[in-house]
Structure 1
């Protein structure tokens, strides 16, 4: 089979891309997002220019103010002459499949800044908080030369965890009044966060939520009773000990003490501290080798994803998969053959052998 990357990539597009033409970046993203012919060749040709940007994931439940926080953070970083790329993942329209563009509208105040590039993407039914090609779009923005790539997830609660395998630094944004501390534990966000941000911190309950999160972070170390903050035990009385315990454990193990920050994105309050913390985390990643580990894991997953994508195309679009499946549907319905036997037949037709299939 001919290699996928032998498909031609428009030479003029690559030239204009490397010349810094934003229209070329936008066109390249469209080609990759729609998986048009030559899209893998574009990514192949530009791969050597990738890996320089700091990738920041902004995730959390709907209504947490992620878009406002992202836009205000981008403006803050622009004060240091940094160039910022933003990928805002919106829910898909149930009618057209396109993005509803809510994030793009909310970021209208920064869309005219020449140092900021914003791309809205539709989830197209993909779970995990990101669109199917978000990672590859982030690659293109990185290769274009932006200093930071901010990935804002769609905000769908428990399916946000994919961001951890996409960003260098994951920021989990919560709000005081929604009981997010409990949801954070249920959804696994405690495992995802490198930084917690309590946004809309001018509302009642912000301090208590910060306390709860710090206590839960300490509980993960296994040296605090899980009923802290209940049955008359004040959260405030254990918050300082929790914070100091997390810090001490992180320092002793050479790890990262996950901070809990408070912001009011609408007014810009807390953004300077967030920017400093992002820089601290980037330094930590580089000095400990964690950045290399995360990026190698991301690249390994990318190779697996490309292989799976090509195999799906080989089986269903070019190969015998659809024909065999159509032939076997009646037998499947009658219970004369199982889905596993049909799958074995499809795989065997490709000459891949019975590995992983049913044992004879």
Structure 2
């Protein structure tokens, strides 16, 4: 029996995406060639974006990001031989392009032009400028890590944090692989060196995604727990990470976004390690974070020296794109750490955004 696609569409783009997995290859081909239907799907995506961001409807925001998460889950999944003839990409890309435009439009609107213009055109000076930007942003030293977790965070706070970190850490090696596409010279070698570290430098036992999985298991953050405690703000951050990595046109934003990620990781992970050991938890669960304190400090330095600075030296216009990506990372990181702090300490004051 063929799927009633118009009925699914009447409930929204998310229902259409969910319907793709149960469809035959022939049905997917017919759907991809049904341009009137794809036009209606596009209108449904635009309407969802309006409800989410123009009208501020929370349920629409959650639906929009659930839909994007489904697209990215497939983008980052391994190939199945049974799917060799199942062409879902036309529908997936239709939906992703429209919803991504809405999400990034919302994030870019939060960034004041004054905060990203007038940057230095020399690569070395630009690096100092962008590090200063990070240092002055509330996310640069967020109280969740540097006050709450470091001083008196509980075991459950650690568990909750690691559940949120599944928004990026299990995919970071694949993101670095994607970022190497089309790059050359020292820039590509720097990203490749970072990727090889993520691969445990060839030791399967030291692959970082494996170590992160051991951290989750050690603290009891199983898939059911992650699903039940995952914050919407963490989902937004994870979706934007995927969007910037997957789209070639957003490469320079991704350089800024993931450069900030590497730059902040060591000081944040130090807080995690200190809290972990304060509670006397199994050391096997903290190998991932302990390792990254030193590794990511080196990666951040290399990223700024061998990726950011040469790009700005080659074309100063790239500096604006890198700064946009950096600010998107800072703002979305602040959002979900604010939400996490409120979950752990309801009476704690929220940070004040530096984006405006």
Pair in the same fold by TM > 0.5: no
Q: Which has the larger radius of gyration?
A: 1
TM-score (norm 1): 0.31
| Higher strand fraction (1 or 2) | 1
Higher relative contact order (CA 8 A, sep 6+): 2
| Higher helix fraction (1 or 2) | 2
TM-score (norm 2): 0.31
